Amino acid sequence: MTGVVLRPMTGADLPAVHRLERLLFPEDAWSEEMLRGELADQPRTRHYVVAEGPGGEIVGYAGLAAAGGQADVQTIGVRADHRKNGIGAALLTELLDEAVRRGSEAVFLEVRADNDAARRLYERFGFARVGLRKRYYQPSNVDAIVMSRRFTPRPPMGFNRENT
């Protein structure tokens, strides 16, 4: 992660993020308009961050949706030439921290069954498989695995009358 910093994603990042999106997800890349729509919901229900290299170039990004006690990892990706440096882990850590800050009880995500790198990353962060969507990704006909991670519930709040 040397020289790479995380910062909030802004509208000015969208052309670069979208270029990266098309490289990372050639089969089902979101359009720039879809990404703009996500940013329009910040900070209400969305939290998007970019990983910026030393020269200011965007080498990764990730986004969270959070509402009603539940959060979803919307997307996460790292440029191929910057992988295996902990950037993916840093981005996911930031999303999970934000989910906790927003009081989410659990985080969900979908991952392609053939995406070993991403599945390993999620398992390392305590995600477990909770469902399967058959042939979800088209045209490649690949299943989506639904994974989730629960957060430990906070201790109940209230007055401890014995100590008053």
Binding region for ligand COA (CB under 6 A)? 24, 76-78, 83-89, 111, 115, 117-118, 120-121, 124
Strand partners, 5: 52
Nearer to ligand COA, 39 or 142 (CB): 142
Nearer to ligand COA, 103 or 130 (CB): 130
Question: What span, in angstroms and rounded, lies between the C-alpha atoms of 164 and 149?
Answer: 37
What is the separation, in whole angstroms, between the first and last Cα of the chain?
49
Nearer to ligand COA, 44 or 65 (CB): 65
Residue recorded with tokens 């599945």: 119
- Considering the complex, what minimum distance in angstroms separates the CB of residue 91 from ligand COA? 7
Strands (E), 19-127: 46-52, 58-67, 70-78, 106-112
Residue with the CB atom nearest ligand COA in the bound state? 88
Nearer to ligand COA, 26 or 55 (CB): 26
- Considering the complex, what minimum distance in angstroms separates the CB of residue 105 from ligand COA? 21
What H or E segment, with its residue span, contains residue 92?
A: helix 87-101
